[in-house]
Amino acid sequence: MAVDLGHRSGEEKDFPETLGRYRLVRRISTGGMAHVYEARRESLAGVAPRVAIKVILPEHARDMNFQRLFVNEARIGSQLQHPNLVQIQDFDREKDCYYLVMEYVEGPTLRRVLSLCKRNGLGIPLEVIAEVGRQMLEGLQYAHTAIDEEGTPRRLVHRDIKPGNIILNPQGVVKVLDFGISKALTGKESGDGVKGTWGYMSPEQARAAPTNGAADQWGVGAVLFELACLHRIFADRDPTVIRDRMEKDDAARQASTLSGPYRDLGPILVRALQRDPMARYTNALEFSRALAKLVPDPIVTRDALIEFHKKISTLEATRLQGGDLVRSHSTLSRAPSHKSMQTGIPVAVGNVHRARSAAEIHPAAHRPDPETSRRSKSAKSNGPGTVYLAFVGAALCVLVFTVLQIFSGKPGVEQAPSVQIAQPVPVVAPVPPVVVAPPPAKAEKSRPKVTSRPPAKAVSKPEPKPVVAAPSRSPVILAPPPPVEVEPEVETGLVSISSWPKSKVYVDGVYLQDSPLWRHVLPTGAHTIRLVTEDGRSHQFQVEATKGRPFEQIWHFDEQTWINSGP
């Protein structure tokens, strides 16, 4: 008769009191394959250490495939002894119900941590992310290199690294659990197909190809990316879409966009999330050492991890008491765009900085002043009273004054229109004086007086000043605008250059930035590119910038060759 661990209606508990020599206390969680309970192992003199018991779900209890995976987890886990792996203490059977006894780890899974951070708009510090990843990789490196009692390497691969399988305890220790679908050299699996969790499994797992420790590197990279951005690297649920984005190296491209406090994490994840397993780190230990460079001091970082655990525990306690904090509307909790990246190689190691707005740098300076808002609302509430009437009166005065100035001027009085400076008024040539001949009767008497005066003083009256018409009635001649020189359009091409390790990029002898140089615009033609690493190694080559044909290359200094060439 089977032990019923399912729901029992009408009872306070929906699980039995005991299982073997263990007393079940409460149900911790339920997964797709099993229940997990907190239990006490009954011993002499009242000694009852806490343990965690994993039991296959009743609907899968007789499924041979689930039983095989369960036994596989118990067999492999019992042979692994590492502080960053959950220890298997016992494996037994009650009637036809198998159960697995593990060490009890107090603390939330990373899935719960992510949920609380999203709900409350809490960002995860960089040193916490780096330390979590470092400890995960320490445990996985041990599993990858473990040997059996005869000295034969086991070559274990977890194959199901995801936030739900990582626990953070109050002492700042990270634990990896659930080796249920792990694969060893000595363990053959029948009908081995796609195994893992979509969105966290590696591209080779998605293709049902052979896997090694590099597959777990990809899973760790996906988890760390989610901790930094608070959203999954692939939010799609369709396996076909996820597989297509993997083949386009979309994961590495997304990691290359990390900026702000996570800009130094981006290059590390870019390498771990490469589509090609050979392009990732040599092993999990090398990946761990890269993350360790982001940790300023091990002791200080462990304290930061403990403080972060306390903050998460406070948020969880607040939620359970019904006083859940207000959800944040920050951009961290927004879902990413599902649009896949363009095809081509991922820009490998380097820092990509995103320009931040003034509101992001100094948010307090861009918040509205309460006093100013109150005055503005008060002014609006007064309606169009005194201010409006004053404005209308002033406008009428200006209009009347302008009309009087235009139409009330007297002849002979020169008016200086305002447009006389900006636009020239046509100059009227002075009219020469007209000498009118006297009548014939008085011609003889007046002839001597007329001829005795000099011709230059024939007219003694001053010349009348020309009257300048009002601007509204006189034609204005506009000077033609100067000719605009149109520069001929220069054809350009796009060049993407990166390297491993990162280097300084010089184009035609001019330093531009550290690698990667992503889609840099250059005039078409040949250009000289020079890469210089921090340790003094350099590589110089020629690039032909061609319109419509982007150039994309990654130079590997250690191997002195190009890797992951684009089209």
- Single-letter amino acid code for the residue at 355: A
Going edge to edge, which strands form the sheet with 22-30?
Answer: 18-19, 22-30, 34-41, 50-56, 97-103, 88-94
> Are residues 550 and 566 in contact, defined by beta-carbon separation less than 8 angstroms?
yes
b/e per residue 439-454 (b: at least 16 CB within 10 A): eeeeeeeeeeeeeeee
And the tokens for 414?
């020169």
In the residue annotation, 276 being an active-site residue is answered as no
With b meaning 16 or more CB within 10 Å and e meaning fewer, what string describes 150-167? Answer: eeeebbbbbbbbbbbbbb
Q: Cβ(31)–Cβ(59) under 8 Å?
A: no
Q: For residue 516, which of 553, 551, 547 has the smallest C-alpha distance?
A: 553
Residue whose C-alpha is closest to residue 101's, from 87, 115, 113: 87
Q: Are 256 and 274 in contact (CB under 8 A)?
A: no
For residue 209, the tally of other CB atoms under 10 A from its CB is 12
Q: State the angle between helix axes of 213-229 and 284-292 in degrees (0 to 180), rounded to the nearest 10.
A: 30
Phi and psi at 125, nearest 5°, equal -60, 150
What DSSP state is assigned to residue 335?
Answer: P
How would DSSP label each residue in 519-563?
Answer: EEEEESEEEEEEEEETTS-EEEEEEEEBTTB-EEEEEETTTTEEE
Q: H or E segment at 269?
A: helix 265-272
Residues 179 and 165 sit within 8 Å (Cβ to Cβ): no
| Helix residue ranges, H only, 83-186 | 110-120, 126-145
Which residue in the list 160, 178, 250, 514 is annotated as catalytic? 160
Q: How far apart are alpha carbons 51 and 343 in whole angstroms?
A: 49
What lies within 8 Å, CB to CB, of 184 at 6+ separation is 76, 154, 155, 156, 157
**Strand pairing class (525-533; 503-507):** antiparallel
Terminal CA-to-CA distance of the chain, rounded, Å?
64
List the catalytic residues. Answer: 160
